[in-house]
Chains A and B, each alone.
Chain A
Amino acid sequence: MIHFRQKFILVLTILCVCATSWGQEGFPYPGVDDSRSDHVFISNANIHISFDKKIVNGSIIVKNGRIAAIGTDLEKPETASEYDAQGMNIYPSFVELYSDYGLKKEEKKPSDRNNWFSSSPDESPKGAYGWNAAIKPQKQAFRDFSVDKKAASNLRSHGFGTVLSHHKDGIARGTATLVTLSEKNSQTALLNEQSGNFFSFNKGSSTTSYPRSLMGCISLIKQSYLDAQWYAAEGHKKETNLSLQAWNDNMSLTQFFVANDKLNVLRADKIAKAFGQKYIFVGGGDEYMRIDELKNTGSRFVIPVDYPAAMDVEDPFAAEIVDYSDMLHWELAKTNAARLNKAGIEFSFTSDGLERGDNMITQVEYAEKAGLSKEHALKALTETPARMAGAYEQIGSLEQGKWANFLIVDGTLFEGGKLVSNWVQGAEHSINPEKEQLTTGDYSFEVGEDSYTLNVSEGRMGLALKIVIDDSTDISLKQSTSMNRISLSFSPEDSKEKVRLSGFWTEDKMSGRGQLTSGEWVNWSASLMDKKEKEAQKRKKKGDITSKIDQPVVYPFMAFGNKELPAAKTYLIKNATVWTNEADGILEQTDVLVKEGKIKKIGKNLKQGDAIVIDGTGKHLTPGIIDEHTHIAATRGINEGTQASSAEVSVMEVVNSEDIDIYRQLSGGVTTAQILHGSANPIGGQSALIKLKWGYTPDLMLYPNADPFIKFALGENVKQSWNRQGSRYPRTRMGVEQVYENYFTKAKEYGQVKASGQAYRVDLELEALLQILNSERFITCHSYQQGEINMLMKLAERYGFKVNTFTHILEGYKVADKMVEHGAGGSSFSDWWAYKYEVIDAIPYNGKLMHDQGVVVAFNSDDAEMARRLNQEAGKAVMYGNMPEEEALKFVTLNPAKLLHIDKEVGSVKEGKHADLVLWSTHPLSVYAKADITMIEGAVFFDRSADQEAREDLKVERSRLIQLMLQEKSSGGKMRKAQGRRKHHYHCDHEEDEGRD
């Protein structure tokens, strides 16, 4: 519908062009009508009619805001005024796609504090809208648009003529409107009512507490798509929901997704593919870090040019806090556009993020210097965004009938050319040149008969001028400048009286008339002695470009990143003590052959010609460690604890491949880990099982075809014992049981409706719960006290499924017999206790007691630090309770594999299994054991000797970049304060709001 209407309007506006005067037709005017027709003849210019076509010495006839004619042999119409653009270049003006120009900003976002702990159901937005305030597809920017002269003038100074504007707030943000930067009136400026539909992963000013995490944001978008489909098919018969109606209406528009981050692009693209959508991504300028994967999305991008400034690393201690990744990004950010272009990814530029004083053209110039051709730079500012906004018939190039939106540039664009004027819909807006100032340096200074050396330097309060007498003596001058005038005064040596001078200045010269102390009038002048100095200063201001398009990046883009991704090779590990975890037990002086990612052969004196031999003499080879419970490598939140159930959210959607803890844990022999949702609510979210393939993207880290799991939680966390004022149900263990009763009842009913063949609203939450009922999804349940453990097993039995794993399970030893009967495993801490009331009876013999009763027992980390010493945690099973060593090692290898249903592939050293192996320096359960080599599927992901080299490389790289930053500082480049990064280390009960930025 809207699509059609839009086209209709377009046709209508084009027809209107014929009218003699254009503007607010029918509006009353005061006194005598003074509307004028804009009829201009611009001649003698080099006209870049598009990014790659140019007319030399051409003319443009502008009439009624549009290009009436364009070409080389045009004649000036009689009624037209003439603008001689001799020597000038004319370009189509730029199109900005990511802006909220002309729209009022949303009210300030509510403080997190208010939102965090009041977990009672939120009030829904008023009106016939959806329940979540972050989903507002009904927002239509064109309804709120009005001309903002100040903002328009600013955008024009960057070269923009047209802007796609939307409310930058919320997850579904509604439609964007295409407007020009005309100052005439809003009626003139508004070109197309709706030219795009915007999404993001930030809830913005939303007052609904859900979602609090990135995974919640993703689920909310998915569910909204489903709800909208349902609404179109059936739902609308029951009720009116303006949000869903608008959602459906907006689908015909171009879809934009504000991702701001390379991995978010991949996340959003998965949503797009699931719902048959294609997004244009507003990126974060870091696309080059994962360019192949982004290319594979087949998407187009809107990329920023707000390159990070260099950091002030003069203080070596302050420099220490700065991350290598930030330094390297500073160096390479300017190559982003050139790399995208080289990769064949279509993109446009946005000025989003530029600070006062930055200029779009200068910023794009950096991209040009880093290897992007001027043509492509222009394309990314004109034709590409115009096409993305669906408005290439109107803007984006200079053709007859298009809007007269163009730039007149003195010189060549992106080559130091200066923007003289920005024409919007035929109206000229001259651009104020940058403020110039005197070049610093020494001037020869003549005042009447006297000659001096005048030194001009940057002082704390603007320019400082002084006359240099000798090395130790100088005379300060008072100066004031306005526009091009300057006045100076000084007291010559041995005099208290003042010489007063007045005159004009240019970049490197001053001259005028003045009065000596005697009252005599004289001529004076000053000129820069060394012109080279001036050139050098000009160059410096721009900042030197050191970044190169072919400079390699590392994966992930941070310290210890891989230059090349580890790949499977043929390895022969010789003469090691092999802990098989199989019937063979521990084999002394044994060889293991690894080929094509698998364990090919175990035996003595194996030979394989092409294998890389690893000497295992005196060392121990074990299966890779499997951490059943971790919270590393997750992005923006580990808990979606805003509701008692968040079964719809999935950690699989938010795996963070760029987390240093992955590498650190490889150094502790970990090869597989289950990233669990936190324990804030009884029914948490779906977990992600990953292999720690450092360097790979999230999707490639996910364990393929693994059985899906979900986190449940019991006890103090879910009843929010820490929060006295908490009002989210449940507050007691009694309520916890009822939450499960409720949700499983609902899920059962849902399953019945689904099975009956009637139409139904697909509900992602109930889908996940139904999977549990059907034993297609498995529970890992955070639990401590025996009573609640027993409760959940009994409840599960009533609903006909099994609780797969109890995690933490510190009182498992009290009900181990019942667990065996039910068939539940236990994934525990070795020796934690005393951190909560519910762990008052926790004992380090828990693992042993459960194991002895026949429970499959694992030890897990739930802690990024301990995760790299899980072998030691297994050692504690020997220390407390005398577990046989082989069985203790299984606590962190084979047993968690069993609990995760992957023991057919991993968890033991067996021919045919994944070559996920760790070579330890000594007995693997000892505090003295170090993982020398950690291998996943036959590829070495950690090698202690390679790590030593990586440290040396890092040192060299860091000091190289620090030196570059120091150079940037001394050459007057843009700087910011040294700043470090610290990642959030999540634990079960971390529940901050990360649904907004």
Chain B
Amino acid sequence: MKRLNIILGLLILAQFSWAQSDILSPAPGQDMPIVITGATAHLGNGTKIDNAAIAFSKGKISFVGRAADWSGTDDHIMIDATGKHVYPGFISANTTLGLREIDAVNATRDEREIGMLNPNVRSIIAYNTDSDIIPTLRSNGVLMAQVCPVGGRMSGKSSIVQLDAWNWEDAAYKTDEGQHLNWPSAFSYNWRRGTYGKNKDYNKEIKAIREFLDDAKAYCSISEDKLEQANLKLESMRMCFDKKAQLYIHVNSAKEIQESVLFAEEYGMKIVIVGGIEAYKITDFLVEHQVPVILQRVTSLPNGNDVDIDMPFKKASLLEDAGVLYCFSVGGFWRERNLPFQAGQSVAFGLDYEAAVSGLTLKTAVILGIDDRVGSLERGKDATLFISDGDALDYLGNKVGRIFIQGRDVSTENKQKALYRKYKKKYERQ
């Protein structure tokens, strides 16, 4: 045990020395088994274990249970987390992380290709692992993200990444896992008059999608040797027809959600709703059609003067009660670090705490189709998790002390902390 403590000490020292350098290196692979003991473990599946032990080696979780039940061997590095909390790494769905660095500087933006139909573009190759934003997410517990192109009618292919990597190939966790369809709006906004009325072109816009998908379907059903002419855009839809990728439909109003789901079902696609502002109005429909929802930011304003003032806050709870599969999202890049508080806010407005944790972890993994590998503290899954001094869903508790991504001991450091120290030093000298 003593030996282990020395190693632990060295590890902490190592982490501290990283913290001293301004430019961070990704962590090396896990070479020694680790066990975290004494913490409250929030498993991500809706349950928790007080005074737990979580052990992992070679990047995979080997044990999750009560500390009293852990009978691991001496070769584990022991991390005493008594009084602390362990969570599966939070997963940010629907982000532009790594595609955007500074909003106002076009040269740093790679999330939006021109044109309406871009199903062929791939976000993964534009994902910048060296973005200064990424470490600021990790230090709040967000350890994985779905990186999505935006804009147009078909935005392109998204991929899921883990947030500690040398380059996009290392980062890639699930590549080209979805197409993103921005469903037309049945109502359009007249800025000058401040009014909101029927979109005259709604049916025309849907027809255009139908034409595209019909063409794509026909194209994809022709065997390759009979194809007269390749078409990258049509070809890109094959992954959705084959159900190797999901169709993420970005849509918000109740009517549009229903129409888009029925529409996409005709093509036999796996559907996920993104946004779903009014999903709470049609929960039966969503349950019946088994369509999950990546919820639009909880901390947003009601979408109308007459809407309950706390409707966005209680949406998750309404979906939970109705049995709809949903997860939280923020829909941005730097703001993703506030993902945990989307869940916290929902707890304040009626959602069960462990259910809220699940909406950041396992449910997200299920919706993104990666729950076989990650998303909960379960034996055999990736050791992608973190330790927080307190309740990570609350500002008063979210203090991320240790981060493990696939077992790698990842730094909690970021550019902002470095700047903090730099200027603290300035004033200390005065």
Q: Is B300 an interface residue (CB 8 A)?
A: yes
**Chain A 835-852, CB within 8 Å of chain B: the 1/0 string?**
111001111110001001
A927–B197 CB distance below 8 A: no
A930 lies within 8 A of B196 (CB):
no
With A872-B341, A925-B396, A982-B189 given, is the CB distance from A958 to B102 under 8 Å? no
Does A975 sit within 8 A of B, measured CB to CB? no
Asked if B308 and A836 make an inter-chain contact with CB atoms under 8 angstroms apart, the answer reads no
**Complex alpha-carbon distance, A721 and B103, angstroms:** 12
Who on chain B is nearest to A848 by CB?
A: B420
Known contacts A323-B304, A663-B309, A813-B423; is-contact A836 B103 (Cβ 8 Å): yes
A844-B416, A879-B396 given as contacts; is B104 within 8 A of A928 (CB)?
Answer: no
A305 to B257: give the CA distance in the assembly, Å.
40
B399 touches A843 (CB 8 A): no
Report if A843-B419 is in contact (Cβ < 8 Å); known contacts: A879-B395, A926-B394, A980-B187: yes
Contacts of A324 in B (CB 8 A): 305-306
Provide the A808-846 mask, 1 if CB < 8 A to any CB of B, else 0.
000001101100000000000001011111001111110
- Decide if B310 touches A927 in the complex (CB within 8 Å): no
Task: Decide yes or no whether B2 CB sits under 8 A from chain A.
Answer: no
Whether A533 is near chain B, meaning CB under 8 Å from some CB there, is no
| Contact for B416 among A664, A843, A954, CB less than 8 A | A843
Who on chain B is nearest to A311 by CB?
B197
Chain A residues within an 8 Å CB radius of B255: 317
Residues of chain B contacted by A927 (CB below 8 angstroms)? 341, 344-345, 347-348, 393-396
Q: Would you call A529 an interface residue if the criterion is a C-beta within 8 Å of the partner chain's C-beta atoms?
A: no
A849/B310 contact (C-beta < 8 A), A875-B395, A978-B198, A982-B196 known? no
Other-chain residue from A816, A841, A928 in contact with B347 (beta carbon distance below 8 A): A928
Return chain B residues, CB-CB under 8 Å to A831: 337-338
| A554 close to B (CB within 8 Å) | no
Q: Which of A295-338 contact B (CB under 8 A)?
A: 317-318, 320-321, 323-325
Task: Name A983's closest neighbour in chain B (CB-CB).
Answer: B194
Contact assessment for A817 and B254 in the assembled complex, using a CB-CB cutoff below 8 Å: no
Q: A-facing mask of B393-430, CB < 8 A → 1, else 0? A: 11110110000000000000000110110011011001
- Chain B residue with minimal CB distance to A881? B420
Looking across the interface, which residue of chain B has its beta carbon closest to that of A976?
A: B197
Which of chain A's residues have a CB closer than 8 A to the CB of B347?
Answer: 927-928
Chain A neighbourhood of B192, CB < 8 A = 997
| Smallest CB separation, B387 vs chain A (Å) | 16
Q: A721: which of B104, B187, B394, B395 is its contact (CB, 8 Å)?
A: B104
Q: Are A833 and B334 interface neighbours, CB within 8 A?
A: yes
Residues of A within 8 A of B120 (CB): none
Contact A977–B334 (Cβ < 8 Å): no
A981 within 8 A of B: yes
B299–A869 touching, CB < 8 Å: yes
Per-position binary interface string of chain B over residues 85-125, scored 1 when its CB falls under 8 Å from any chain A CB and 0 otherwise:
00000000000000011111100000000000000000000
In the complex, what distance in Å separates the CA atom of A947 from the CA atom of B313? 15
- Asked if B223 CB lies within 8 Å of chain A CBs, one says no
Given contacts A834-B133, A836-B104, contact A849 B420 (CB under 8 A): yes
Contact size range, B: 35 or more
Is there an interface contact between A979 and B196, defined as CB atoms closer than 8 Å? yes
Contact across chains for A954 and B306 when beta carbons are under 8 A apart? yes
A817 and B427 contact, CB distance less than 8 A: yes
Whether B17 sits at the interface, judged by CB under 8 Å, is: no
A864 at interface by CB-CB < 8 Å: yes
A664-B301, A814-B423, A875-B396 known; A992 vs B104 contact (CB < 8 Å): no
Contact of B102 among A323, A814, A837, A979 (CB under 8 A): A837
Task: Tell me how many residue pairs across A and B have CB atoms closer than 8 Å.
Answer: 153
Q: Which residues of B contact A979 (CB under 8 A)?
A: 195-197
Q: How far is the CA of A37 from the CA of B302 in the complex (A)?
A: 70
**A876 at the B interface (CB under 8 A):** yes
Tell me the minimal C-beta distance from B240 to chain A in angstroms: 27
Docked CA distance A663–B302 (Å): 12
A866 on the B face (CB < 8 A) = yes
List, in ascending order, chain B residues with CB within 8 A of A317's CB: 253-255
Task: State whether the Cβ of A38 lies closer than 8 Å to any Cβ in chain B.
Answer: no
| Residues A866 and B395 in contact in the complex (CB < 8 Å), given A324-B306, A841-B419, A978-B197 | no
In whole angstroms, how far apart are the Cα atoms of A843 and B420 in the complex? 7
State A992–B191 Cα separation when bound (angstroms): 10
Q: Does B333 contact A (CB under 8 A)?
A: yes
* Separation of A497 and B427 alpha carbons in the complex (Å): 106
Kindly state whether residue A647 has any CB partner on chain B within 8 Å: no
Considering the chains assembled together, what is the distance between the CA atoms of A559 and B348 in angstroms? 24
From A318, which residue of chain B is reached at the shortest CB distance?
B198
Q: Name the interface size band of chain A.
A: 35 or more
List B residues 44-59 near A (Cβ within 8 Å).
Answer: none
B195 pairs with A928, CB closer than 8 A: no
B residues 265-316 near A (Cβ < 8 Å) are 299-302, 304-306, 308-310
Residue of A nearest to B416 (CB): A843
Q: Is the CB of B399 within 8 A of A559?
A: no
Docked CA distance A844–B418 (Å): 12
Docked pose: A813 CA to B419 CA in angstroms? 10
Give A159 Cβ to nearest chain B Cβ, in Å.
30
A395 to chain B, nearest CB (A): 37
A560 to B305, CA, bound (A): 9
B309 and A664 within 8 A (CB): yes
Nearest residue, chain A, Cβ from B192: A997
CB closest residue in chain B, given A315: B255
Q: Tell me if A191 counts as interface (CB < 8 A to partner B).
A: no
Complex Cα–Cα for A127 and B105 (A)? 44
Quote the shortest CB–CB distance from B96 to chain A (angstroms). 11
Is B196 a contact of A928 with CB atoms below 8 Å?
Answer: no
A977 touches B309 (CB 8 A): no
Contact mask A856-895 → B, CB, 8 Å, 1/0? 0000000011100100100110110100000000000000
Contacts of B394 in A (CB 8 A): 875, 926-928
Contact, CB under 8 Å: A865 / B305: no
Residues of A within 8 Å of B253, CB to CB, are: 317
**Identity of the chain B residue whose Cβ is nearest the Cβ of A871 in the assembled complex:** B395
Task: Say yes or no: is A968 at the interface (Cβ < 8 Å to chain B).
Answer: no
- Is there contact, CB below 8 Å, between B104 and A722? yes
In chain B, residues 169-201, which have Cβ atoms closer than 8 Å to a Cβ of chain A? 187, 189, 191-192, 194-198
A323 B306 Cβ-Cβ under 8 A: yes
Chain A residues whose CB sits within 8 angstroms of the CB of B423 once the complex forms = 813-814, 849
Against B, the Cβ 8 Å flags (1 = close, 0 = not) of A693-710 are 000000000000000000
Complexed CA–CA distance, A816 and B347 (Å) = 37
Which residues of A sit under 8 angstroms from B344, Cβ to Cβ? Answer: 927-928
- Asked whether A852 and B427 contact (CB < 8 A) given A324-B305, A980-B304, the answer is yes
Question: What is the CA–CA distance of A866 and B312 in the complex, to the nearest angstrom?
Answer: 13
Q: A716 interface residue, CB < 8 Å from B?
A: yes
- List A contacts of B301 (CB < 8 A): 661, 664, 864-865, 985
Residue numbers in A under 8 Å from B101 (CB-CB)? 834
| Chain B nearest CB, measured from A976 CB (Å) | 9
Q: A923 within 8 Å of B by Cβ?
A: yes
Whether the pair B104, A716 counts as a contact (CB closer than 8 A) is: yes
A973 to B261, CA, bound (A): 36
Using an 8 Å CB-CB cutoff, how does the interface string of B358-397 with A read, 1 for contact, 0 for none? 0000000000000000000000000000000000011110
In the complex, A789 has a CB within 8 A of chain B: no
Complex contacts, A351 vs chain B, CB 8 Å? none
Q: A667-B310, A879-B395 are in contact. Are A837 and B341 (CB under 8 A)?
A: no
Which residues of chain B come closer than 8 Å to A869, judged between CB atoms?
A: 299, 345
With A317-B255, A927-B393, A980-B195 in contact, is A947–B309 under 8 Å at CB?
Answer: yes
- Quick check: B197 and A836 within 8 Å, CB to CB? no
Find residues 323-352 in chain B having any chain A CB closer than 8 Å to their own CB.
333-334, 337-338, 341, 344-345, 347-349
Q: List 5 A-B contacts (CB under 8 A).
A: A836-B102, A853-B427, A879-B396, A928-B344, A980-B304
- Could you list 19 further interchain pairs (A-B, Cβ under 8 angstroms) beyond the known A716-B104, A925-B395, A926-B394? A664-B301, A664-B302, A667-B310, A833-B416, A843-B416, A865-B300, A875-B394, A925-B396, A927-B348, A927-B393, A928-B347, A947-B309, A958-B306, A977-B198, A979-B195, A979-B196, A980-B196, A981-B195, A982-B189
